[in-house]
Structure 1
Amino acid sequence: MVAMSLDQAPTPRRAQILHEAAQLFAARGFHGVSVDEIGAASGISGPGLYRHFRGKDAMLAELLVGISEKLLDEGRRRVADAPDPTARLDALICGHIDFALNERALIVLHDRDLSSLPDADQRKVRRLQRAYVEIWVGVAREAYPAFAAVDGEPRTRAAVHAVFGLLNSTPHSASTHRAPRPPDTEAMAGLLRTLALGALAAAGA
């Protein structure tokens, strides 16, 4: 068995540090947060964080690479568990909605601070994301055979990216919502599912 490096050992403390780092990075930007501030939010001294992570760069990499790996693994699992193309597409949509509603800080962080990762980690994130997109493209083409007849994969891929844009806009819409109270999570999930299914059905018609 290969021994885990310091930045790979899973512990509740590390998970707490990563959670606090994600919230702070999303609120103020990666470069606007210090190690001491992450430590204070986690209930640990700034220098104490170095027992768990080599530094802020390692935290950012684990957050963005980690969520990309999680999305890909979850997408593969949902596709494997669903009985037919329509069910597989619905499962992918529902899984991504769960991500969009529960990992809002990471969506903001990815949109704004991916370029702060070292080049090797950026390439890894993009490689994982491409694999995730290809799962969606394959399932969408199975669910809507008309995709294959109209521009083939480029049209399908464009439609999938458009749906990602719709679902991933959730954190931004939540932060600017001006109604007396925003939709609850269940209602928002239902709305996003309806919109995503409708968009893909229209594009694949």
Structure 2
Amino acid sequence: MVITDGMTSSYADMLDEHRASRRALLLVKAAEAIDTHGLRSVTIDAIADHAGVAKVVLYRYFRSKDALIDAVLADMVDALLGVDDMPAQWWTERLPHTLALAHEKRAALRVLLRQASYDPRFGQHVKRLHAVLAERTVGRIREALGEPGAMPGDPSMLAQMISNFLLDAYLLWVDRGDPAKDAEFLAWLVASVRFMTRRWWNAPAD
């Protein structure tokens, strides 16, 4: 009976892994189809065709087209927040991992930033991303530079500007930059954020 239970458990684990792997692949293909056809114009048939599966397969994993789009966006946001929350001695250590994620999930990132940002229904995912990043960013700046001096806006405004700048920069780079120069791009990114932060935070120059 113990052996049987062990075999059953092993098969269940394998089945779960298979479903998780297939769901992840469907999200990748769905992001590509949405990026091509548009957030509101894409059809479930177009997504199924792009994924090379029958429409019924999509419905086994996602109850509707909107649920599938939500899953694509939530997966991208969770991935970005996960990388941003990686253990690191300094924030710059996370940037190469975020850029690698942007390369890997370029279509989903494009859908999130270029389409969902302006959509009243799906924009909630972008708002969640910026809200969490802003809170983390303000905390990190305070830890590094102390309390702010006089600044044009409040700290949350600076944090929003930094997260917008970084995300747009990643997307522009994976779309048009040279991957062989990723290191140079990241160095420029670090210098830009440091300058922006110190100018707004009113901290002494290095």
TM-score for both structures, normalised by structure 1:
0.71
CA RMSD of aligned residues (A): 3.0
Alignment match, 2:36: 27
- Give the Cα separation in 1 of the matches to 2:20 and 2:35: 23
Q: Would the aligned equivalents of 2:102 and 2:171 in 1 still touch at CA under 8 Å?
A: yes
Could you tell me how far 1:13 is from its partner in structure 2?
Answer: 1.8
Q: Would the aligned equivalents of 2:102 and 2:109 in 1 still touch at CA under 8 Å?
A: yes
Q: Would the aligned equivalents of 2:83 and 2:98 in 1 still touch at CA under 8 Å?
A: no
Which one of 178, 197, 203 corresponds to residue 183 of structure 1? 178
Q: Would the aligned equivalents of 1:22 and 1:63 in 2 still touch at CA under 8 Å?
A: yes
Alignment match, 2:134: 133
- Counting only pairs closer than 5 Å after superposition, residues 83-122 of structure 1 correspond to structure 2 as 83=89, 87=90, 89-114=91-116, 115-116=118-119, 118=121, 122=123
Q: Would the aligned equivalents of 1:167 and 1:192 in 2 still touch at CA under 8 Å?
A: no
TM-score for both structures, normalised by structure 2:
0.71
- Give the Cα separation in 2 of the matches to 1:130 and 1:156: 9
Alignment match, 2:88: 82
**Paired amino acid for 2:151:** D
Could you tell me which runs of 5 or more consecutive residues in structure 1 were left unpaired when the two chains were aligned. 1-8
Higher alpha-carbon Rg: 2
- Give the Cα separation in 2 of the matches to 1:36 and 1:169: 33
Could you tell me how far 1:15 is from its partner in structure 2?
Answer: 1.4
Cα-to-partner distance string for 1:47-75 (whole Å, 9 max, x where unaligned): 33211111221111011122222322332
Q: Would the aligned equivalents of 2:27 and 2:72 in 1 still touch at CA under 8 Å?
A: yes
Matched, 1:40 2:37: no
Could you tell me which runs of 5 or more consecutive residues in structure 2 were left unpaired when the two chains were aligned. 1-17, 199-204
Could you tell me how far 1:125 is from its partner in structure 2?
Answer: 4.7
Could you tell me how far 1:157 is from its partner in structure 2?
Answer: 4.2
Cα-to-partner distance string for 1:122-161 (whole Å, 9 max, x where unaligned): 445523431122212221333344x722429835742662
Cα-to-partner distance string for 1:161-189 (whole Å, 9 max, x where unaligned): 246424424444554x4xxxx5125x22x
- 4+ aligned runs moved over 3 Å, structure 1: 115-118, 121-125, 169-175
Shift in alpha-carbon separation, 1:124–1:202, aligned structure 2, 3 A: closer
Q: Would the aligned equivalents of 2:23 and 2:61 in 1 still touch at CA under 8 Å?
A: yes
SS at match of 2:40: helix
- Give the Cα separation in 1 of the matches to 2:88 and 2:153: 22
Alignment match, 1:154: 154
Matched, 1:168 2:168: yes
Cα-to-partner distance string for 1:24-49 (whole Å, 9 max, x where unaligned): 11122123322122112222112332
Query: How many residues align structurally?
Result: 180
Could you tell me how far 1:198 is from its partner in structure 2?
Answer: 0.8
**Paired amino acid for 2:23:** R
- Give the Cα separation in 2 of the matches to 1:30 and 1:11: 24
- Give the Cα separation in 1 of the matches to 2:96 and 2:160: 14
Q: Would the aligned equivalents of 1:22 and 1:105 in 2 still touch at CA under 8 Å?
A: yes
Q: Would the aligned equivalents of 1:68 and 1:128 in 2 still touch at CA under 8 Å?
A: yes
